[in-house]
Amino acid sequence: MSCPLCKGKASWKNNPYRPFCSERCRLIDLGRWAEGSYVIQKTDKKGFGIGE
């Protein structure tokens, strides 16, 4: 299992921060949600991002 943020190792069992490896990573992730920096790009019909 890898941490969604730092891609380091994260255990599932007995890990209060799961799926993150640490409180630090969890908090940074939450911060990114809060600042609206998580963005999904719209794609065209063929499935490629427009403008690439």
Partner 1 sequence: MGENLLKIGYDAESIKVLEGLEAVRKRPAMYIGSTGATGLHHLVYEVVDNSIDEALAGHCRKIGITIHVDNSITVEDDGRGIPVKEHPVKRRPTVEVVLTELHAGGKFENKAYKVSGGLHGVGITVVNFLSEWLDVEIKRDSHIYHQRYEKGRPVVQLSVEGESSETGTKITFKPDPEVFENTVFNFDKIAQRLRELAFLNAGISIVFTDERSGKAIEFKYDGGIVSFIQYLNKTKTTIHQNVIYFTGERDGTEIEIAMQWDNGYSEKIFSFANNINTVEGGTHLTGFKSALTRCINSYAANTNLLKDLRESLQGDDIREGLTAVISVRIRNPQFEGQTKTKLGNSEVEGYVKSLVNEKLSMFLEENPSTAKKIIGKAVEGARAREAARKARELIRRKGALETSSLPGKLADCQETNPALSELFIVEGDSAGGSAKQGRDRRNQAILPIRGKILNVEKARFDKMLSNEEIRDIITALGCGIGKEDFNLDKLRYHRIIIMTDADIDGSHIRTLLLTFFYRQMMPLVEGGYLYIAQPPLYKAKKGKVERYIKDDAAMDDFILGSVCETLTIRSACGENGLKGQGLVKALNWVARFNCILRKMSRRRMEEGVMEAFSLERGFNADTLKDEKTLNGLLDGIKAHLSQRYPETTPVRFSIVPDKGKGTFMVRCYSRKNGVQIETVVDLAFARSPEFQELRRLGTELDRIGRPPFYLEAGGTTSEVDSFRALMDRVFEIGKRGFYIQRYKGLGEMNPDQLWETTMDPEKRTLLQVRIEDAIEADGVFTRLMGDEVEPRREFIEEHALEVANLDI
Among 9, 13, 14, 36, binds partner 1 (CB under 8 A): 36
Exposed, middle or buried, 6 (CB in 10 Å: 0-12/13-18/19+)?
A: middle
Of residues 3-32, those binding partner 1 (CB under 8 A): 4, 16-20, 23-24, 26-32
**Which of 36, 45, 8, 46 has its CA nearest to residue 17?**
8
Q: Which is nearer to partner 1, 11 or 24 (CB)?
A: 24
Q: Name the residues that contact partner 1, by CB under 8 A.
A: 4, 16-20, 23-24, 26-43, 46-52
